[in-house]
Structure 1
Amino acid sequence: MRHEKREERAKLLSILVSSTMLKKILFGGLGFSCLLAPSGLQAQIAVDANAGAGHRPDIVAAPNGVPSIDIVTPNSRGLSHNKYDDFNIGNGGVIWNNHAQEVGQSQLGGIMPGNPHLRVTGSAKVILNEVTSSKRSALNGPGEVFGRLADVIIANPNGISCDGCGFINTPHATLTTGVPEIDASGFLKGFKVRGGDITFGAKGANFFSGKGAVDIVDIVSRTVHFEGPVAGKDIGVFAGTGSYDYTSREMKELTDITGKSEYAIDGSALGALQADQIKLVATEKGVGVRMRHDMAANAGQLHLSADGKISLQSIFGHGGVSLKSKSQSVLAKRITSKRHVDIAAKKDVTLETVGADGHLKIEAQEGLLSIAGQATSGGDMKLSSRHAIKVSGLGSGADMAFETGGDLTIAGTVLSGGHLKAHAGGDIRADLLAGGVDMAATGTVGSLILGNQGGVDLQSSQGAIAAESIYGAGDITLVSHNGVSVFQTILSHDNVAIHTQPGAGVHFGQLLAYGSVDIEGGAVDFSSLMAGGDAVLKGGSLDAGTLMTGLDFVRSQVSPSNPTGALVFYDKGSLSITAQGGIKVGHIISGENIDLFAGNDIYYDQVIGYGSATLTSVSGGISVENVLSVMGDVRLTAPRLDLSNNRSHIYTPQTLYLKGDHIDVSGSELTYGGLDFNSTNVLDIHHARLQAVTDRGGTGDILFIAPGVLVDETTLVLAARDFVIKTGNLHNSGQLAAGQNLAFSVTGNVTNSKTGLIYVKGNGALKVDGALLNDAGVVMAEGDLSFTNAAGSGKSLSLVNKAGLIQVGGNLNIQTNSLKNEADSTPIITEKKEYSDISFQKPEGADQLSDGMLYQDAKIGLWGKGHEHQDDKLIGKGHVELYLDIPLWNSKEETYGTATLKDGTVYKAFTWKHKSIKKEFSVHHYKWNGDRWGGWFLPNNNWSHMTEETVTQTFSHKSAAQGMIQSHGNLIINADNIENNYSIIKAGENADIHANVLTNVGATAYKNTYLGCQANTDSYCYA
């Protein structure tokens, strides 16, 4: 305002010094009748003439003609209670004069005098305008509180119509059809509503902005109609019969009254409601709320409560939305909130879309909960219904929960940032369900990304569970009475548990669990199951494609360290399958132990495990012809186990256990870290090679348990360590060998036939209750060996070693009633003599002698080549002298002849005969005497030679084989009767034999050789 105008206004106000003078100037003394419209004022507002003076306000007009009400003097509680016969507000509005000063500025009336009723008490806090007649009120313009702020109340039990109404300069406006309730102190408690309606016309009301802005607007009536837009800051609509508390703004229902409408609050297609905060309450029993246009609480909460049906279009509550129907249903098209949404209905809740940045809670207590479109929440979401839930796409930033006594049907995708939980009495049917979703990452990438926590828990007490896919960052639990079907994928970053009744099936496409898997139900079928931990499956039957446990999902992904994306397994993750019927599976890979138990057949294409494998079929077979490869023991149990002719493909460095009624390994080569066969029928092994080794960490042990064990001559059973047989009867024609210890316990008889070998590198124990026959076989122990009864504490019935070999490197202990060691037949001995002469051979170098003569020079002790010299001189004519020309040997012994016997023994002798001459000096000469013929074919009867006479005893008939019982250590025999027939019992150390009767029958054939030396020289023969 410019300075000149401010000065002019000040001058004017200095003249108008009193309200009386001002009123005379304005209304009377100057005769400005044009400013008044008495007939208009009377038509709009009429004071109740029957009311007490303290309740009759003065109806005047502002200088510009706007009706003005000098409200009555307020009581001690600040309440100005004004009563009217008729109360209406025209388009120009009305002024409640609450100005206690002389003069003031009104927005509707301009410059106005103050209210003389307020000179003493001051301005009112609450201006109550009560209509006491049977006339309705029409509010078609604004109402202004002139002066100090005050609450404004228009109370008309007959009804109020608002079509462009509003309020100025009031923090709290109330329109009500209730009757005021004021206590003795003058305090306004509230209103009692029994009837009437409040209707907003096509122009509606703007309580939000401009001149008509009001902080709080309360509309309290039995019924409220919105036929035009209404806007405000904090709007409360309380409909129905009841007691309204003015201070708390709460409505309490009265006793049921007849004449009720279907909707206590009813908005037409044009009746929009918008405010910072909205609260709608319909208390009357069975009466509801219908808003056919939008409602919006743009800053605060939108709260709507009705006993009856709630029918809404699009509603928004910035601070939250709360809808509650105590006895009927809630129907809405679109509900959104920047905070929470809470909806509760006694019967149905039917929505098109709903969204909350905070939590979302919807409860249909006894009806159907249905959401046709999307439902989202930034916080928790909880949907519950006793009858059924039918929704489409859902998303929550935190936990999500469904609870219904009937079916849960979800047509679209469900994403929960936290735990997803659904409990239903009937079926649960969904497309994609996901718990623990990383919403931010999912939105960025455009595909489903799971976070760190939040699983899925679906439970159907009487129905089935059916979904397209289920994902969970945490545990996934599916519990159903009538079965579970997940047509594509179940994925959990933790554990998965699926439980159904025994007669209900479990079906899914693929299951991936970073943790463990627990499945229990009827028929179980799926394409693939991959678990990072253990997997336990129990059902009526199993039909599966691929099963993996102990899979390291992280390290199996393509990475610099794993460029091909090869599967990597932990050293954990066992697999257990139990089926009342059969088990049919394609491929099994397990990081730990595998345990399959079936009432019928067990079929697999391939089994690979890093632990042990135990397969048990009660009444069917096991597909041993396919690959079963594990690092631990393999245990197979079935009525019939056919591993014959190398048809099995079982691989393990550890022990192979076979248990069944019929076990057939004939024609096969089986090499394992151990063998353990337990058969209820005879174990008949032919043309087989069975071997237990230790080179890859196996025990090297073999154990056979059967009523009878038969081993043919083409079979080898070799144990690198211990070999144990427990049987009723044993017949061995093959080779049974143990690298360490051997123990055969037989309650019946044992036969080790001609081709049979029982061998133990360490100690052995043949414990037989019946007869043990070693029929030309071999029983050999490098350590100790004992023969006892089956208990190992007494005697066997008998031990017969017929042309067999029982040989022990250590001690031999035989405890038996009867011991017989015999050859296969009785021998016959004949004698033969042979004679031969053996010539001596000249020593080496003798070929250098002249005429074969040997010369010796006795002076020098040398032997060699020489010559004779005959003197032709007259004096010495005829005299012969001997000369040694070339020495060849240094001693006489070197000149000896040698004779070699047939056995290679070499004898020596001096076989040179001295040839004397008439006169010898120191040189002598000798002639070789080793020739039988002296020359000219004349015999030399004294030639040097040796003679050999051999006397040989031979068996003209002898046993093909003797019985041999031999101990390199001590021998202990404790028997009632011992027979040794043409056989050998031999001890390397001590022999301790106890018997009542001992019979030993034997035959020995000798060969003697007699040698003679015929040197016929001055020497003898020696070797």
Structure 2
Amino acid sequence: LNNGSTQNNLTQLGGHIIDNPNLKNSGSAQAILNEVISGNPSQLRGYTEVAGQSARVIVANPYGITCNGCGFINSPRVTLTTGKPVLDNGRLDRFQVDQGSVAIEGAGLNATNVDRFEIITRSAKINAQLQAQNLTIVAGRNDVNAQTLNATARADDGSSKPQLAIDSSALGGMYAGAIKLVGTEAGVGVKLDGKLIASGGDIQLDANGQLSLADTSATGAVNVNAASLDARGPVYAGTALNVQTQGNLTNRQTLASRDSLTLSAGGQLTNAGAIEAGVNADGSRNASGDLSLTAQNLDNTGKTLTASRNLTVNTAQTLNNQGGTLSGQTAAITAGTLDNRNAGKVQSNTTLNLNAAQVLNSQGVITSNAGLTANIGQLINSNGELSSQTDVVLNVTSLDNVAGLMSAGRLLDISALGAINNRTGRIGAKQTLLVKAQQLDNSQQGQLTSEGTLTTRISEQLNNQNKGLIQANGAMDVQATRLDNRAGKISSLNTLTVSSANTDNRGGTIRADQAAKLLIDTLDNRDKGRLESKTALTFDGNTLDNSNGGLLTSSGVLSLKAKAVTNDGGRISAKGDIDANIDSLNQEHGELVAEGNLLLTGKTLNSHQDSLVGSLKTLTVNVEQIDNRASTLSSQLDLHINGSRLDNSDGGKVLSDTTLALKVEQIINATNGLIFSKGASTLSGIGLSNVGGRIVSQNTLGLTFDEAMDNQQGLISSEGQMTLSAGSLDNRLGKLSSLEAMALTASGSVLSQGGLIVSQKGLTFKSGSLDNSDNGIISAKADSTLTTGELKNRQGGSIATDGSLLLTSAHLDNSGGSLGSQQKLEVSVTSLAQDGGELFSNGDLTLDMNNGLLNNQRGNIHTPGQLLLKNLKDVNNSAGEISAAKAWSVNAQSLNNDGGKLLSNEKLTLVVERALSNVKGVIASASLDSRSDSLNNNSGDIRVRGDVDFSVTGMFDNQNGVVIADNGLTITAASLDNRQEGLIGSTQALKLNVERVDNRSGELSSKSDVSLIGAWLDNSDSGYMLAGGNLALTVNDVINRNKGLLSGDTGLTLTGKTLENSGRLTSQKDLVINLSGDLNNAQGSLVNEGALAITAQSLNNDAGTVSSAKALTVDTRGAVSNQGGKLLTDGDLILNSSALDNQQNGAISSKTKLNISTGALNNSQASIYADDHVEISAAQVTNTGGSLGAGNSLNANVQGLDQQGGKLFSGGTVSLDLNGGA
């Protein structure tokens, strides 16, 4: 290219050439533009030389340029372009590239003698070596500034895009001092399979698509900006290596730099080789290499990332370093997830900073020789290692260190928002270990150790179970909301503080060589858990369970403060004093023991099953509720118990070798409980239960209780005086005994059924009530007083004194009991129940009932002396006995002697305002005077050797009863019920003045006269009213049906209103019946051996018999019915009636005369006959089939006669006057 303007020029290719005449006026050109406008590509083969003045050479052909062994001479700048040159005012402005390709082939291109070599094209193909000083290739559809080569992408015109913007084959290669490759077309990659060598400067690679690199190196920097990068060969930068991709970045061999190395990938960064900063060109290492990696994901699996100085890694998502190595003098790692598993290594010679949402370090190593600071979301370090020779400060959301190792040469500070899992893992520090977490699992032989101090702050659970170890040579401070140390160990060679809301130390050990302080709300130390200190142990918490072999012990003093302690089968002990402030202590087979003093303060103590609370010195128990059943409270000095309730039952023991003082509101010493002291004993409170228990003092004994004392089957014994004061006392089957005087005071009840109250001296007894029933015994050797309210001495109860007894009570129930004295007995009660009981005195007996009930049912009140019954109200002696040798009396409102006995060898006087009942009872005396409102002798037996006088306002019930008087018997009553074979009899006169007498099946009899004045008598159903003398009945209505018998040997008179008789009225003498009303003798019998006179309103003798040995008179104002009946007499028979019905075989007969005066007379199928004379005055006579006759004469004056089939006859004369009738 001839650029000569003034002289001839010598050229390398053509020798001397003449000047270019076109340039004479303008002078030589600065740039030579060779624009090809034909449709064929340009072929550059060989060199192109500028003759004359050196000038920029531009070859422009939109149809392509191929260089095969081309080169350029005498040009500082060469541009090969497929773009269209665009001029502005004659000045080259830019290249407009729309198409075309520049290819380097064959013998390649040599531009080493050109300062700047440029290719501007749609695409470039480098299939041969290209050598230059400064090489720039701009590919793509662009407007490219002709001077700066800055490219502006042109709008997409829809034309097809080349496959690659720059394609450098393996045969190709670019060698230059400095290289800049730019591919601007979006999505069109750059493939550089050939070498890319910048021997004197930098390499800059810009690709808007994928960039593929092979062997690339620069003595200066390598700067890459691409959509993505595939570095398939080694890449080395003599200074800095900077790579930025919008997408993925892949290193298949080596990325290295002498100084800094920076990789930034918008997608995944994959290292399939080695990435290293601080590598000299000769392969040696320097100390100034910084490595910085930024990517969405980084895959360094099995490979290395090394910085000789600072290593910085930032991945938004995953950094996969499995089996790989991240190494730097310092290291700063930031990742979404760091996967350092499978022998991965992250290491720093100085500090290491790690920030990640997740770190997977299983079988990996993260280590630094100086400080390690990590802020991690989830850290999984199972079988991995995280360590520092100095300090480790770790902030995590959660940590999995299963079988892993975390260690620090000085400080190890771990803070976890969530859980730490250190099962079978090791976390340790040489000086200070701090662990903060929501949860910490140090189980399965996990280790948390410090050669200095150790501190944990766990907001939820710390799990140290199954041989987990937390150990420090210095002070230890463990804080966790929940601590699980089952079969684990927490140990400090110095002081120990454990703070926890809930600690499970079952089978575990928590110990300190110096003072131990346990600040634990709930502590489970069961199953041989151990809490121990060699100096002093303090527990301050809410709940402690030390059961099943649990041990809490101190070689010095022990301070225990808790709301609830369970010590079943456990032991709490101290060689010094114990100060235990426990709201609720529960132990079975447990021990709380001190070799010094023991002070126990709390609300409840439940000590069962051979448990022990004891001290070798003073024992003081200030506990509101104490349950010491089957257990022991003991002191070898004084014993003091203060509280609300003590239960020492079931073999419990309270033992003192000196004095004993119990000040407890409620004491329960039941079922073989023992309260024992060798010195003076005092027990005081509100209530005492000694049921089956023993309270024994070898000195004086004082018991003071405001309310109940229960000594059922118990023993309260004193070898000195006994003073007992209580609101009430229950001594059922119990025993109170004193060798000296006994004073017993109870404001309420005393129950001593089957019990024993014994004083070897006198007894002073005062109570609100007393029950000494069921073989209870109250006994004293001297004079005694017993004052109480209600007193029960039932069922074999015994109250006895060898002296006199003064007894004052309200109600006294001595049913089946015995109450007596050898000397005088004075009893004052408001009521007395004696059911089977005995009230006796071998002296005089005075019983003052104070107008109360005397119930001697089946009881026995007796004395050989004077019996005085005072102020009686109601007396019940049913099945009982009241007896005295001397005369005595009862003056009461009611008297029940049913089945009982009232006996006197002298006179017996009974004055009863209301009922006197002697059902099946016995009343026997020399004489009897009885006054009552009613008398019931049903099945009773009243026998008196002398006179008897009964005055009964109401009913006298003698059903099945017996009343016998050897002299006269008088009964005055409103009614008498003598049914059911009742018997009332006397030797002398029986006088009955009774309104109503029911003698059905009964007997009223006397060997002398019997008289009855009343309104009604029923003597039916085989009732007997018998008089050896005269029977006189003045009774309105008499019923004598069904075999009833009214008999008077010397005469029988009945005066009244009516008689119903289907039984018998009989007399050996005259029988007189005078009634104002009807006499019904249907099927009855009126028979006597004397005269018989009947006066009544009417007579019904249907099927009945009226018979007398002498005259028979029947006088009625009404009709006489004798159907089937008999009116018979051996004497005269007179019958006056308004009508006579003698039908159906009726018989009216007289051995002498018969006189009938009546109205209508019906003798159909019947007989009227007299041996002598028959006189008949009647109205109409019906004698159909009848017989009307006389042995001598018959005189009939009638109104009419119906004689069909009948007979009217006489042995003599017959006179019949029909008075005009027919």
* TM-score range relative to shorter protein: 0.5 to 0.7
Find the partner of 1:968 among 871, 888, 894: 871
Pairwise CA distance, 1:632:
1.0
Find the partner of 2:309 among 190, 198, 204: 204
Paired residue for 1:599?
651
User: Which whole-Å deviations, capped at 9, do the CAs of 1:438-458 have from their partners, x for residues lacking one?
Assistant: xxxxxxxxxxxxxxxx71333
Does the 8 Å contact 1:80/1:128 carry over to 2?
Answer: no
TM-score (norm 1): 0.57
For residue 573 of structure 2, what is the amino acid of its counterpart?
A: H
Does the 8 Å contact 1:81/1:130 carry over to 2?
Answer: no
Pairwise CA distance, 1:380:
4.2
Q: Structure 2 vs 1, CA of residues 391 and 19 (structure 1 numbering), >3 Å: closer, same or farther?
A: farther
User: Which whole-Å deviations, capped at 9, do the CAs of 1:697-734 have from their partners, x for residues lacking one?
Assistant: xx2x2232346665566222222444545426665553
Pairwise CA distance, 1:672:
0.8
Does the 8 Å contact 1:752/1:775 carry over to 2?
Answer: yes
For residue 246 of structure 2, what is the amino acid of its counterpart?
A: K
Q: Structure 2 vs 1, CA of residues 704 and 470 (structure 1 numbering), >3 Å: closer, same or farther?
A: same
Find the partner of 2:330 among 226, 230, 235: 230
Paired residue for 1:54?
191
Task: Name the CA distance, whole Å, in 1 between partners of 2:860 and 2:547.
Answer: 72
Does 2:824 align with 1:777?
A: yes
- Partner SS for 2:440: strand
Does 2:688 align with 1:634?
A: yes
Does the 8 Å contact 1:741/1:760 carry over to 2?
Answer: no
Task: Name the CA distance, whole Å, in 1 between partners of 2:482 and 2:386.
Answer: 25
Task: Name the CA distance, whole Å, in 1 between partners of 2:58 and 2:397.
Answer: 50
User: Which whole-Å deviations, capped at 9, do the CAs of 1:602-653 have from their partners, x for residues lacking one?
Assistant: 2155555452111246275533855544431122356654458x61143323
Paired residue for 1:810?
851
Does the 8 Å contact 1:396/1:415 carry over to 2?
Answer: yes
For the aligned residues, what is the CA RMSD?
A: 5.3
Does 2:574 align with 1:540?
A: no
Paired residue for 1:872?
none
Does 2:597 align with 1:691?
A: no
Pairwise CA distance, 1:542:
1.3
Paired residue for 2:211?
80
The count of residues paired between Structure 1 and Structure 2 equals: 703
Does 2:783 align with 1:734?
A: yes
Pairwise CA distance, 1:464:
3.8
Name the % identity.
12
More strand by share: 2
Task: Name the CA distance, whole Å, in 2 between partners of 1:665 and 1:321.
Answer: 73
For residue 261 of structure 2, what is the amino acid of its counterpart?
A: G
Does 2:753 align with 1:705?
A: yes
Does 2:205 align with 1:71?
A: yes
Q: Structure 2 vs 1, CA of residues 635 and 370 (structure 1 numbering), >3 Å: closer, same or farther?
A: same
Paired residue for 2:521?
455
State how 1:903-918 maps to structure 2 within 5 Å. Answer: none
User: Which whole-Å deviations, capped at 9, do the CAs of 1:52-109 have from their partners, x for residues lacking one?
Assistant: 97144874659xx5x523337353xxx534233x77x98xx63314399xxxxxxx99
Paired residue for 1:478?
545
- Structure 1 gaps, min length 5: 1-15, 39-46, 101-107, 175-187, 237-247, 255-262, 437-453, 551-572, 791-795, 824-962, 1003-1023
Does the 8 Å contact 2:300/2:319 carry over to 1?
Answer: no
Pairwise CA distance, 1:760:
1.5
Does the 8 Å contact 1:277/1:319 carry over to 2?
Answer: no
Task: Name the CA distance, whole Å, in 2 between partners of 1:337 and 1:23.
Answer: 63
For residue 155 of structure 1, what is the amino acid of its counterpart?
A: N
Pairwise CA distance, 1:531:
5.1
Find the partner of 1:296 among 362, 372, 376: 372
Task: Name the CA distance, whole Å, in 2 between partners of 1:461 and 1:347.
Answer: 23
Task: Name the CA distance, whole Å, in 2 between partners of 1:50 and 1:403.
Answer: 71
Pairwise CA distance, 1:779:
2.5
Does 2:748 align with 1:614?
A: no
- Partner SS for 2:644: coil
State how 1:280-679 maps to structure 2 within 5 Å. Answer: 281-282=360-361, 287-289=363-365, 291=367, 293-297=369-373, 303=379, 305=381, 307-317=383-393, 319-320=395-396, 324-325=400-401, 328-333=404-409, 334-337=411-414, 340=417, 343-345=420-422, 347-352=424-429, 353-356=432-435, 359=438, 361-372=440-451, 373-377=453-457, 379-380=459-460, 382-392=462-472, 393-395=475-477, 399-409=481-491, 419-429=501-511, 455-461=521-527, 463-466=529-532, 469-472=537-540, 475-487=542-554, 488-489=557-558, 491-492=560-561, 495-500=563-568, 502=569, 504-507=570-573, 510=578, 515-525=583-593, 528=598, 530=600, 533-544=603-614, 546=619, 548=621, 573-580=624-631, 587=639, 589-597=641-649, 599=651, 601-604=653-656, 606-609=660-663, 611-616=665-670, 618=672, 622-623=676-677, 625=679, 627-637=681-691, 640-642=694-696, 647-660=700-713, 663-665=716-718, 668-674=721-727, 676=729, 678=731
Q: Which entry has the higher C-alpha Rg, 1 or 2? A: 2
Does 2:182 align with 1:128?
A: no
Pairwise CA distance, 1:597:
2.8
Structure of greater relative contact order (alpha carbons < 8 Å, 6+ residues apart): 1
Does 2:141 align with 1:141?
A: no
User: Which whole-Å deviations, capped at 9, do the CAs of 1:675-715 have from their partners, x for residues lacking one?
Assistant: 53647587666642323243xxxx2x223234666556622
Task: Name the CA distance, whole Å, in 2 between partners of 1:596 and 1:578.
Answer: 5
Pairwise CA distance, 1:968:
3.0
User: Which whole-Å deviations, capped at 9, do the CAs of 1:224-254 have from their partners, x for residues lacking one?
Assistant: 274x62133x346xxxxxxxxxxx6564978
Paired residue for 2:973?
none
State how 1:875-954 maps to structure 2 within 5 Å. Answer: none
Paired residue for 2:1201?
none
- Structure 2 gaps, min length 5: 1-54, 60-74, 80-110, 118-131, 136-167, 174-189, 228-236, 279-285, 909-1222
Q: Structure 2 vs 1, CA of residues 331 and 742 (structure 1 numbering), >3 Å: closer, same or farther?
A: same
- Partner SS for 1:574: strand
Q: Structure 2 vs 1, CA of residues 781 and 370 (structure 1 numbering), >3 Å: closer, same or farther?
A: same
Task: Name the CA distance, whole Å, in 2 between partners of 1:625 and 1:328.
Answer: 67
Task: Name the CA distance, whole Å, in 2 between partners of 1:385 and 1:18.
Answer: 84
Task: Name the CA distance, whole Å, in 2 between partners of 1:17 and 1:220.
Answer: 52
- Partner SS for 1:533: strand
Does the 8 Å contact 1:125/1:149 carry over to 2?
Answer: yes
Q: Structure 2 vs 1, CA of residues 51 and 822 (structure 1 numbering), >3 Å: closer, same or farther?
A: farther
Does the 8 Å contact 1:516/1:531 carry over to 2?
Answer: no
Pairwise CA distance, 1:544:
3.2
Task: Name the CA distance, whole Å, in 2 between partners of 1:484 and 1:17.
Answer: 99
Does the 8 Å contact 1:641/1:664 carry over to 2?
Answer: yes
Task: Name the CA distance, whole Å, in 2 between partners of 1:520 and 1:140.
Answer: 78
Pairwise CA distance, 1:385:
4.9
Paired residue for 1:953?
none
User: Which whole-Å deviations, capped at 9, do the CAs of 1:298-321 have from their partners, x for residues lacking one?
Assistant: 766694635445554445446437
Q: Structure 2 vs 1, CA of residues 357 and 81 (structure 1 numbering), >3 Å: closer, same or farther?
A: farther
TM-score (norm 2): 0.49
Task: Name the CA distance, whole Å, in 1 between partners of 2:588 and 2:756.
Answer: 41
Q: Structure 2 vs 1, CA of residues 164 and 668 (structure 1 numbering), >3 Å: closer, same or farther?
A: same
Pairwise CA distance, 1:670:
1.5
